Amino acid sequence: MGSSSAISRRSFFGAAVALSVVSGARAQQPPHLLTKGIWPNGARAAVSLTYDDGLNSQLDYAIPELDRRELKATFFLTRYNIQWRLADWETVAKQGHEVANHTMTHPCALTGLNTARFEHGEIDRMEAFLDSNFGTDRQRTFAYPCGYLGVGHGDRRERFARYRRILERDGVVAARTTAGGPNRPEMAAADPLHLHAFEPTFEGDTMGPALRYLNETVAQGGWAILVFHDVLPKWHSEGDASVATHAKILAQVAALDVWCAPMGQVFDYVEGHWGKPA
């Protein structure tokens, strides 16, 4: 399993940090920071790197950088985008990255949609497509296209409840939005179809937002879910990350005392530790 290598690297790094930190420096910190982290191997936070839409630039630029750092990520695929390079995506999944549902055609305006047609045409069909090409032995996770949290008519609550029921019927255990701060594990366990996430290069191709978000997550002992779209030699528009900035963000993740794993894997851990007993 690829995931175990990420854990052991992290634990190695964690041990090195522990040895290098002298007790004097630690004594200045509030008592709760002296305790070991709550994540695997005592990591102080969890990080999931997620990539949306099944874009060619992710195959060409993001995955080589992930591989170089032995990090495993989650790719939320749309059938429409991946059809031309399906064999490459199958290789990605075999290497231990998570592939998951981001609908067939990525519809964003869901208010006017026929609910049954959306459920069968976009969600069921994509799950079936993933099953037949990537196997049924995968965590069923989901990313809301455009971060839009409602299907059909009614008020916000009604529309989101309808969306949740569709996902639950397809066995989706965890779903990610595109907004919000670090996830608190007990909240993630209680409301797994409403996981917060952060797109670090949405405003521009700089490191600041990613650093702030990751630092905040570590300070809280939470779970960061980073969202990327195109990873390109040069930043063009909102949603892109340049190859250079993407590499720096991954380097920062690797340097922190965090557990980096695909979303489904972190969710399994969250559910096991903070979920309701069966």
For the purposes of burial, counting CB atoms within 10 Å of the CB of 32, is it exposed (0-12), middle (13-18) or buried (19 or more)?
exposed
- Type of residue numbered 36: K
Residue 122 engages Zn ion in binding (rule: CB under 5 A): no
Residue 230 engages Zn ion in binding (rule: CB under 5 A): no
Measured from the CB atom, the residue of 52 and 127 that comes closer to Zn ion is: 52
> Which residues have C-beta within 8 Å of that of residue 63, sequence separation ≥ 6?
92, 97
What tokens appear for 249 in the block?
């963000």
Region at 183 (left for phi over 0; alpha for psi -120 to 50; beta for the rest): beta
> Which residues have C-beta within 8 Å of that of residue 277, sequence separation ≥ 6?
none
Residue 53 engages Zn ion in binding (rule: CB under 5 A): yes
- Minimum CB separation of residue 4 from Zn ion in Å reads 30
Measured from the CB atom, the residue of 52 and 240 that comes closer to Zn ion is: 52
CA–CA gap between residue 278 and residue 272 (Å, rounded) = 10
The piece of 29-37, 49-57, 119-127, 237-245 that touches Zn ion (CB under 5 A) is 49-57
Give the per-residue contact string, 231-260, with Zn ion (x = CB under 5 A; - = no): ------------------------------
Q: Which of 132, 17, 139 is nearest to 79 (CA)?
A: 132
100 φ/ψ angles, rounded to the nearest 5 degrees: -150, 175
Give the per-residue contact string, 136-175, with Zn ion (x = CB under 5 A; - = no): ---------x------------------------------
Measured from the CB atom, the residue of 13 and 148 that comes closer to Zn ion is: 148
Which of 7, 14, 40, 52 binds Zn ion (CB under 5 A)? It is: 52
Contact residues toward Zn ion (CB under 5 A) are 52-53, 145
